[in-house]
Structure 1
Amino acid sequence: MHLPPLDVAVYPVVTMGHGRHGGRKSRAQSSISSTSSSSSASSSQSIQPDFSSIQKVIRNVFRSSKIQVQQIERLRGRIHQVYLSRLADGSSLVLKCPPDNDTRLLRHEKYGLETERTTLETLREYTQLPVPQVIKYDNRGDALGSAFLMMSHVPGRRLSELSPYLSVNERRTIDYTLGAYIRTLTSLSATQFGLTHRVFAGKGSSSWREAFIALLESVLRDAEDMLVTLPYDTIRYYIQQHISCLDEVTEPRLVALHACELDNVMIDVQTKQVTGLVGFSSVVWGDPLLSGGVADGSEAFFEGLGENPVKTGGVKARMLMYATYRSLLEVTAHHYRPRHDMDDLQGRRALTHALNELGQV
């Protein structure tokens, strides 16, 4: 399916948190379909939201002074500040705000909210995928004073929370569903390659080769800025050696890099079925092989996808190039936002393996 040019003017968005919609709802709330986000609290070091400001924003959005916020909770987020607001009528809202001021961002991450907003609007319009619905409004003069996302609520718990308790058949069903969802995502096409905010502004690349090199150089420069020890010359050499294989990709497809990560898949606790997908701040238009889930997909995943492109002849070099890119992102992000409970050894091992394999292709 080919998408027409989209308007990418920036405006704020709102997200419904998980939690059930119960009791009586306002007309504005009733028109919102459900979206999702986990209710896991963040660490005690997280900055606490301003209760009155968030309640004021919600009232402004729905144009009702009668809406009562009973509780606000900071959720775990990859980069952005995410707040779960529980309302008096039993429903919930999730506000996704810009990162804390002291959060270091990689170059491509600076457009995360805009990317997610545009991607969700596109998916809601052109597919039936269970993703949050963006709520548009004018935030001028609101209590938060900056653009943010507001979306509808997707019920369920994160797959990361339930994964240890799933049976083999339950996990197989989930993987099959995710494969089918990725097939739908990658069926959408655009007229240019590259980062979403550039493509929708008509400033994308005419070839996947050009777009991918731009993506790779962006993260390499991020790493160089932080003086991260990496084999820069080796990486650039092997990528250049195999760059021509990227010309096999002639049509830009929607690629959600984190679509199948365990924290972004919502599961119904009772039925163990997928209730929705969240986390679309890292989306590019390019090769479907770069999509989340493809590199480590199970047999059931590829059954849902309809094929196993990894086993198709001629794609090994591309897969290794994408493995190089993903591992670079992992290592570099760790140096920008180090965590005491995690190191970059796994990313470095993956990078070394990918480079060694590229050297033998």
Structure 2
Amino acid sequence: MLTKTAVTDDQVAAVLAPVGTVRDVEPLAGGLFATVLRVGLADGRDVVVKVTGADTTRLLRYEHGISGTEAAVYRLAHRAGLPVPAVLHVDASRQHVDGDVVVTEHLAGVLWNGADLDDGAARAVRRSLGAVMARLHRITGDRFGYPAPSAGLSRETWPEAFGAMVEAVLADADRWDVPLPHGRLRAAVRAGHEVLAAVTTPRLVHADLWPGNVLLDPADHRLTAFLDAERALWGDPVFELVGADQLGAGAVDPELLAGYRETGGELGLGDGTPGAGDPSAWTRLRLYRAYFACLLVVEVVPRAYTGDWVEGYAATARGNLERMLDELEAP
């Protein structure tokens, strides 16, 4: 089972010495494999300390080096005026803690998945999220794929990068003895080469904008920040829709698409109804959904998930994978 890194108060104090003097330390829930702490400083500030353990033996390939990715993305997004926590300190020295540390400002608010929203407020948040996505995707890079060198999944073109990403998750599946339809998935990627090649500019994609990573103002439920940028990549903006609806397989939320268009972006999916808009955009979305479903199916094993929800979760992800491949293979 993937075990979080134990961190003592003394270790926290040592890591935070360049930032300030520690007053109190409180664990935060939510991280699947990182240790996340809220730390009060003597000067009155609250900060978040996130420790990603040095042991990579139970990580999927794309997860290698994600601590550095998160810090880099926050900095890029912050410079672009996007609502993210400011990075205060990064420590990858392993001198004080057995892992990599990112320290950010602590932002007040309530997570979207913990907020009690009526239909109107929920629609407004989804539209705001679409607007944030469009602004994020204006940030461009010079290579495609996952940026961390240790992942080895950065390439010159999007078809090359996406193909490497697929091969990485298939290798992870073999490593953890998780059956996946290798041949069908590879064939779908080969068949989709032309539509993937139409993506020629690497754009910053958060890839994990589900409600658990979106912060709202508790008073009026406005979107105030997005968090946990560690799985970000350079690629196709359409990929963003998969991270925002990780078990989705059908229509795309029209409010999200409306917010995206209102902010000057266009994803090519029309009103979000399957078949609307550009067929090539839907082909790319199906490829990304198939890839993401593979990640969800495989990660269950190294993370040793437990609970009544696990069987249904894995079955839904596997069903989505089969559905996407069926749709991609349809004449």
Report the TM-score range of the alignment, normalised by the length of the smaller protein.
0.7 to 0.9
For 1:50, the aligned partner's letter is T
- 8 Å CA contact 2:53, 2:99 repeated in 1: no
1:310 is aligned to 2:261: no
Q: Secondary structure at the match of 1:53?
A: helix
**1:194 — aligned with what?**
145
Q: 1:211 to 1:47 in 2, by over 3 A?
A: closer
**1:73 — aligned with what?**
27
Distance 1:172 1:250 in 2: 32
Distance 1:138 1:195 in 2: 21
Moved more, 266-275 or 137-146: 137-146
Q: 1:101 to 1:173 in 2, by over 3 A?
A: same
Equivalences for 1:254-293 in 2 at 5 Å?
Answer: 254-258=204-208, 260-291=209-240, 292-293=243-244
For 2:39, the aligned partner's letter is S
**2:128 — aligned with what?**
177
1:107 is aligned to 2:61: yes
Q: CA deviation at 1:48?
A: 5.2
Identical columns (%) = 25
**2:18 — aligned with what?**
61
**1:32 — aligned with what?**
none
**2:106 — aligned with what?**
153
- 8 Å CA contact 2:15, 2:91 repeated in 1: no
1:236 is aligned to 2:194: no
For 2:10, the aligned partner's letter is S
Output one character per residue of 1:199-235: Cα deviation in whole Å (capped at 9) or x when no partner.
9x9x942211111101111111101111111211121
Q: 1:266 to 1:303 in 2, by over 3 A?
A: same
Q: Secondary structure at the match of 2:225?
A: strand
Distance 1:172 1:195 in 2: 31
Q: Secondary structure at the match of 2:38?
A: strand
Q: Secondary structure at the match of 1:309?
A: coil
Q: 1:233 to 1:151 in 2, by over 3 A?
A: same
For 2:211, the aligned partner's letter is L
Q: Relative to total residues, which structure has the larger strand share, 1 or 2?
A: 2
1:327 is aligned, of 293, 299, 311, to 293
Q: Secondary structure at the match of 1:196?
A: coil
- 8 Å CA contact 2:204, 2:234 repeated in 1: yes
**1:27 — aligned with what?**
none
1:227 is aligned, of 151, 174, 177, to 177
Distance 1:338 1:195 in 2: 25
Q: CA deviation at 1:247?
A: 1.2
Q: 1:324 to 1:68 in 2, by over 3 A?
A: closer
Distance 1:188 1:87 in 2: 33
1:212 is aligned to 2:162: yes
Distance 2:94 2:186 in 1: 47
1:301 is aligned, of 256, 261, 277, to 256
Q: CA deviation at 1:301?
A: 1.1
1:135 is aligned to 2:88: yes
2:119 is aligned, of 162, 168, 177, to 168
**1:120 — aligned with what?**
74
**1:84 — aligned with what?**
38
**1:252 — aligned with what?**
202
Q: CA deviation at 1:261?
A: 0.8
- Mind listing any 5+ residue stretches in structure 2 that lack a counterpart? 271-276
- Mind listing any 5+ residue stretches in structure 1 that lack a counterpart? 1-44
Distance 2:22 2:205 in 1: 39
- 8 Å CA contact 2:286, 2:324 repeated in 1: yes
Distance 1:304 1:280 in 2: 21
- 8 Å CA contact 1:49, 1:83 repeated in 2: no
**1:51 — aligned with what?**
9
Task: Specify which structure has the bigger relative contact order, considering alpha-carbon pairs within 8 angstroms and separated by 6 or more residues.
Answer: 1
- 8 Å CA contact 1:103, 1:337 repeated in 2: no
* Number of positions where the alignment pairs a residue of Structure 1 with one of Structure 2: 307
TM-score, normalized by length of structure 2? 0.85
Distance 1:198 1:146 in 2: 17
Q: 1:143 to 1:206 in 2, by over 3 A?
A: closer
For 2:253, the aligned partner's letter is S
- 8 Å CA contact 1:48, 1:74 repeated in 2: no
Q: 1:92 to 1:257 in 2, by over 3 A?
A: same
State the Cα RMSD in Å.
2.5
- 8 Å CA contact 2:65, 2:149 repeated in 1: no
Q: CA deviation at 1:184?
A: 0.7
- 8 Å CA contact 2:90, 2:103 repeated in 1: no
Q: CA deviation at 1:329?
A: 0.7
Output one character per residue of 1:95-153: Cα deviation in whole Å (capped at 9) or x when no partner.
1111374871001101110111111111122x111101112366768532643100112
Q: 1:288 to 1:264 in 2, by over 3 A?
A: same
